[in-house]
Amino acid sequence: MATTVLGDIVMNRRSTQAGMSPVLFRHWQHRTRYKCFVCHPDMFEMRAAANDISLDAIRGGRFCGTCHDGTTAFAVGFDTCRTCHSVEGP
């Protein structure tokens, strides 16, 4: 399992309840390529627990799914789930 570094965001609103590891969003990796305004505030509100992110929303092209569509960035699917669901739960 992955370890976190300063700036990483661990999201676990639904993950452990669904039997998955929490999501580890590596904020620094995205910041090396994009400016803040690319994602904030249109895709993600900058307030803890403000974004009701679900797999259905992502697959519908919202939140992470805006870019993780298989063209801009890797697609979200069973073969890539551990890419994000990669930290130990509580």
Digit-coded pLDDT (tens) for 3-21: 888 889 999 999 999 999 9
Whether 60 is covered by a domain: the verdict is yes
Rounded distance between C-alpha atoms, residue 36 and residue 20, angstroms:
28
pLDDT at residue 3, rounded to an integer: 80
Cβ-based burial of 70 (10 A; exposed 0-12, middle 13-18, buried ≥19) = exposed
pLDDT at residue 35, rounded to an integer: 96
Whether 33 is covered by a domain: the verdict is yes
Tokens of 54: 């679900």
What kind and span of H or E run contains 25? strand 23-25
Whether 25 is covered by a domain: the verdict is yes
**Count: domains in the chain:** 1
Whether 2 is covered by a domain: the verdict is no
pLDDT at residue 90, rounded to an integer: 62
Structural domain boundaries, residue 37: 9-84
pLDDT tens-digit profile of 29-64?
999 999 999 999 999 999 988 999 999 999 999 999
CATH number for the domain including 14?
3.90.10.10
Whether 74 is covered by a domain: the verdict is yes
pTM: 0.85
Mean pLDDT of 25-31: 93
CA angle 84–87–88, rounded 5-degree value: 145
Whether 47 is covered by a domain: the verdict is yes
Whether 24 is covered by a domain: the verdict is yes
